[in-house]
Amino acid sequence: GVSIFRGARNAIFSLDDQQAGKGVLYRRLLHSAKFRVWYGGQVIWSEPTMQSREETATNVLQETGAALIHAHDHGRIISGQGTISLELLEQAPRMDTKRVPISGLRCRNVITVDDTETIKAMRLCYEILKVAVEPSGAIGLVGALSDSFRNNPAWKECNQIAIILSGGNVDLGSAVEFI
């Protein structure tokens, strides 16, 4: 998703010192937690099922009193990720369209994309921009290149398009096999 690092750092730095000292439970926050809690972190494994992750999380929370921060359903994560839009507006004030990857939302002006096109966009980013992006981070580009975008009258006059690419959590070897 859109720069989980921004959201994670915001969530971590929003904790008071007492709560930060008890720890943070979240699978992607280890790197961000190191910035706030200098002694690092502990990786706790669970089975790769939702039930196992929830049971493991419940046990850890009961044992440690750590703060639970959800990946996508946490206000501090969302507001931290949103800072990218502020930077974009500062750097490109004349843009008239912004394409960002989203999931789990149902709203007007959303373009859906297929996996094949997403992988092609990932490859395009890698070959031209020399940037590795994960599938969810490339869908803004896929949408902007799609017929759905180009043929939609609502976006006919769009000339200054900003696309947010994100993530590097990908095995390019595996992704390229699908192209």
Judge if 35 and 96 occupy the same domain: no
- Going by pLDDT thresholds of 50, 70 and 90, the confidence category of residue 113 is confident
Judge if 59 and 1 occupy the same domain: yes
Residue 79 placed within a domain: no
Please answer whether residues 144 and 168 qualify as being in contact, where contact means their C-beta atoms are separated by less than 8 angstroms: no
Q: Please say which residue of 35, 69, 103 terminates a domain.
A: 69
Judge if 61 and 2 occupy the same domain: yes
Judge if 124 and 162 occupy the same domain: yes
Give the whole-angstrom CA distance, residue 134 versus residue 155: 26
| DSSP structure class, residue 124 | H
Token digits of residue 138 = 């490339």
pLDDT in tens, 27-76: 554 444 555 555 566 777 778 787 888 888 889 889 988 887 776 677 77
Domain membership of residue 109 as a residue range: 92-177
Q: Please say which residue of 34, 69, 104 terminates a domain.
A: 69
Placement of tokens 């095995």 in the chain: 171
Higher pLDDT, 43 or 178: 43
Residue 119 placed within a domain: yes
pLDDT in tens, 117-171: 988 999 899 899 998 888 888 888 998 888 888 888 887 787 788 888 877 667 6
Judge if 107 and 149 occupy the same domain: yes
What whole-number percentage of the chain has pLDDT above 90? 6
Structural domains of the chain, count: 2
Strand partners, 98: 162
Q: Note the pLDDT of residue 164.
A: 82
Q: Note the pLDDT of residue 2.
A: 46
| CATH number of the domain that residue 151 is part of | 3.40.50.1100
Contacts 24+ apart (CB under 8 A), 153-161: 154/109, 155/97, 157/96, 158/96, 158/97, 159/96, 160/92, 160/94, 160/95, 160/96, 160/97, 161/95, 161/96, 161/97, 161/98, 161/99
Q: Note the pLDDT of residue 1.
A: 44
Residue 83 placed within a domain: no
Strand 97-99, strand 24-25: pairing: unpaired
Give the whole-angstrom CA distance, residue 93 versus residue 77: 25
**Cα R_g (the chain), whole angstroms:** 19
Q: Note the pLDDT of residue 89.
A: 82
Judge if 59 and 17 occupy the same domain: yes
